Structure 1
């Protein structure tokens, strides 16, 4: 399993619109996200517009390719595009992926293995 965390910048003047659109994501888009292999997908938004997203997947590259080829995803990204600051292209293809620097379960597992060695 791969854990993916990314960031984007929502235009601070459009935060209410961003929230409203995500309270009513198109059912067809929800299905495409699931079909791409993404699960446990969440978005977190700060008052200044910093958006952090997180999801888990078995293969991020395959999922990205699936969504890149999806007509529904292209329509959703066009619908959402004017809400973001500083992007050129589809938000799902230009977001900044963040480096995972700590994982509790991983470190607990490593510590437990060392204790039994």
Structure 2
């Protein structure tokens, strides 16, 4: 098991829409996340800075393959078509990067 954390900005004018989408996440999206070996997935929002932090446990053996599988899923593509316009990458994101990885500096079980 590997813990992963990611960050992105939420457009302030899209906060209500983004929260509503996640309050009623599609069952097919939840199933796809699980099928791609992701567990204990949480997204936190820090306002007024409008920072989203996603944290989850990855229980698979090939993260890149599982993320490719997720990206090829038609329902996931439809979901991202709704959620992506709500987000904007951090200024420090590299070209083509969306959610940026975060370094774990402390953990206590």
TM category, shorter: 0.7 to 0.9
How do 1:1-117 and structure 2 match up within 5 A?
Answer: 1-47=1-47, 48-59=49-60, 60-86=63-89, 94-105=98-109
- Whole-Å separation in 2 of the counterparts to 1:36 and 1:101: 25
Report deviation, 1:49.
Answer: 1.3
In the superposition, the TM-score normalised over structure 2's length comes to 0.83
TM-score w.r.t. length of structure 1: 0.78
Structure possessing the higher relative contact order (Cα contacts under 8 Å, 6 or more residues apart): 2
Alignment partners' CA distance in 1, 2:38 and 2:64: 11
Inter-partner Cα distance in structure 2 for 1:11 and 1:50: 9
**Structure 1 residues without counterparts, runs of 5 or longer:** 88-92, 106-117
Q: Which has the larger share of helix?
A: 1
The count of aligned residue pairs is: 100
Q: Is there any run of 5+ residues in structure 2 with no aligned partner, and where?
A: 91-96
Larger radius of gyration: 1
How many angstroms does 1:86 deviate by?
Answer: 4.0
More strand by share: 2
Q: How far off is 1:77 after superposition?
A: 0.4
Task: Give the RMSD, CA atoms, in angstroms.
Answer: 1.6
